[in-house]
Structure 1
Amino acid sequence: MYGAIIGDIVGSYYEVLEIKNKNRSYEDRMKIMDRNVPLFNENCSCTDDSILTTAIADAILNGESYEKKLREYGLREINLGKDIYGRSRFGKGFVEWLKNDYMGESFGNGSAMRISPVGYLFNSINEIKIESLNATIPSHNHIESIKSSEAVAVSIYLLRKGMDKDSLKEYIEKHYFSLEYDLDDLRKNYKFTSRAIDSVPQAIFCFLNSNDFEDAIRLSISIGGDSDTIACITGALAESYYGIDEEIIECAKTYIKDYMKDVIDKFYSTINNKNNILVKKEY
């Protein structure tokens, strides 16, 4: 869960650069790959990605409906504030959904960015597919979002159970979508989009091409685009595979609100208990 939140926090600064400067250069994007450049800065923040990831975890841990918790957290933070360029930190479509009682049909990546707790808190692929669907459709009842969310949740589960990167790539390409990209081409030509099918595969690709958790976050930001969401998804996968250095977690905690920390603590306590249960491999 920290993996997703850290990706969101770090990516929040770079997302606004991508929107402000629609043609960011390859050289500019590559600066983040220098490990002397700090991951965190004063313009970073938790965005809707972190808040709604926490909402999904809260719903599972307390046996409540996903829609109820998404609306509860969303309405609580609807005035989350503006970024450094004056944009709302919640997407326009999600705000409209919060204010109205209807099922959202978005094909955006907002459901995939929040789905990671499902991949951790359930212990079979069948359960994860069902819960991923239930967590997605209240606001993103579109096949592209449904498929993308499921791909992220299932990937996390498979990585938790020991699947290697090559096998994961093969699995995702067989069941979901192609991951055939060129990293340099993405860095030079990838444009901002919040469409799930055009950003979630790229996030998974970034994880597959990383060397450790920090490298995964930096690499995901280096391709540009919807940086907080891409890094959020990449970070979630990277945590399940590499783990996270305590120093990075401690830095991230300074950006996280106390009520979110309570849910996060309960999440990890539950995970630690579940990890003692032997689960048959299903892939």
Structure 2
Amino acid sequence: MSNADLAIVSLKGLSIGDALGAALGEGVSTEAAGAEADHGALPGTPWQWTDDTHMALSVVEVLLNYGEIYEDALAERFAQRYSEEPYRCYGEGAAWLLRQYADGESWRELAKEVFQGGSYGNGAAMRAAPIGAYFASDPATAADQARKSAMVTHRHPDGQAGAIAAGSNRLSGSDLLSAVLLHVPMSETRDGIEAAMKFPPSRYSEAVKQLGVGWNVTAQDTVPFCLWCAAHHIGDFKTAIWQTLRGGGDRDTTSAIVGGIVAPAAGEIPEDWESCCEPFPDDVEF
């Protein structure tokens, strides 16, 4: 597949994970979610995606239009989409930023003001996987482009580290965590990824408790677990998503990150799940 095709497949996987996670909802216990995973119980359709997909659409559009992340264009696209559909479950900080951008304010100044030093939320990571797919043959470039995509809204080092980790992924699984660490700067998020390397799949419950599943909606509380799930199920999209959902927490975002990483590596999107998911908007030309 071409770079563009890989990015689009990643976006589709991201949107399915996002929409399924949103349909199932947050806060489900590990035990209850595990029962869902074991039985394959799917929610009613259509599954509506959230801000995770809404922002990732803009990321992919900029990649396809420019061949790289052009921050000004990305900020403009984020603001335009938010203005059109502000109901997509945006966080308070992101919503405030995008309203200011829509009014003509500069992202270069405002992004530093959020949370008194920049956001370290998981919002930059949730939209970054298509960047890794687009630059799959060049992880170093992917990492740099993911950092640029984060700068528009997340100026805290951990917010950027989360995007780099989710956006410098590879199309193979066994060495995913160690490969990602080559590009993630020193941060709490990096510490979490290093900790994730210690957990085999058999220690699932411990991994959930130690790594976090997005309860705090931060990069450091979200990305390590997502990479761990993706690394152990890189060739099986459905299993990767179900194992992510089992953990509970911020399920639309954790599943979006994992879906975006695993889909291009698995090579296909399950048609039965894709048919359950809300389609992309009519103005999307891919």
TM-score by length of 1: 0.77
Aligned match of 1:133: 147
Aligned match of 1:124: 138
Aligned match of 1:194: 217
User: What do the CA deviations read for 1:84-127 (whole angstroms, capped 9, x no partner)?
Assistant: xxxxx111111111122322521001011111221222352333
The amino acid that maps onto 1:111 is A
Aligned match of 2:7: none
User: What do the CA deviations read for 1:203-258 (whole angstroms, capped 9, x no partner)?
Assistant: 11111222611011111010111110000001111112213222222222xx1243
Shift of 1:32: 2.2
Question: Is 1:46 paired with 2:49?
Answer: yes
Shift of 1:195: 0.5
Rounded Cα–Cα distance in structure 2 between residues aligned with 1:203 and 1:249: 21
Would the aligned equivalents of 1:67 and 1:138 in 2 still touch at CA under 8 Å?
yes
Shift of 1:57: 0.8
| Structure 1 residue runs without a partner (length 5+) | 19-23, 81-88, 266-283
Rounded Cα–Cα distance in structure 2 between residues aligned with 1:36 and 1:79: 29
Distance 1:30 1:187, change over 3 A: farther
Aligned match of 1:272: none
The amino acid that maps onto 1:199 is T
Alignment partner for residue 8 of structure 1, among 10, 18, 21? Answer: 18
* RMSD of Structure 2 on Structure 1 (CA): 2.2
Question: Is 1:222 paired with 2:232?
Answer: no
User: What do the CA deviations read for 1:262-281 (whole angstroms, capped 9, x no partner)?
Assistant: 34x2xxxxxxxxxxxxxxxx
Aligned match of 2:175: 167
User: What do the CA deviations read for 1:35-64 (whole angstroms, capped 9, x no partner)?
Assistant: 4412x4247311000111101111222236
Shift of 1:33: 1.1
The amino acid that maps onto 2:257 is I
Q: Is 169-178 or 63-72 further displaced after alignment?
A: 169-178
Rounded Cα–Cα distance in structure 2 between residues aligned with 1:114 and 1:167: 22
Rounded Cα–Cα distance in structure 2 between residues aligned with 1:13 and 1:247: 16
Aligned match of 1:146: 160
What is the aligned length? 240
Distance 1:208 1:221, change over 3 A: same
Rounded Cα–Cα distance in structure 2 between residues aligned with 1:138 and 1:170: 27
Aligned match of 1:107: 120
Shift of 1:8: 0.1
Rounded Cα–Cα distance in structure 1 between residues aligned with 2:98 and 2:264: 31
Would the aligned equivalents of 2:132 and 2:143 in 1 still touch at CA under 8 Å?
no
Rounded Cα–Cα distance in structure 1 between residues aligned with 2:271 and 2:279: 15
Alignment partner for residue 271 of structure 2, among 232, 239, 246? Answer: 246
Shift of 1:187: 5.0
Rounded Cα–Cα distance in structure 2 between residues aligned with 1:249 and 1:110: 23
SS, match of residue 242 in structure 2: helix
Alignment partner for residue 213 of structure 1, among 229, 234, 237? Answer: 237
SS, match of residue 197 in structure 1: coil
SS, match of residue 33 in structure 2: helix
Rounded Cα–Cα distance in structure 1 between residues aligned with 2:153 and 2:250: 19
Would the aligned equivalents of 1:186 and 1:223 in 2 still touch at CA under 8 Å?
no
Rounded Cα–Cα distance in structure 1 between residues aligned with 2:98 and 2:260: 25
Aligned match of 1:72: 80
Aligned match of 1:236: 260
Distance 1:233 1:152, change over 3 A: same
Taking every aligned residue pair, what percent have the same amino acid on both sides? 22
SS, match of residue 195 in structure 1: coil
TM-score by length of 2: 0.76
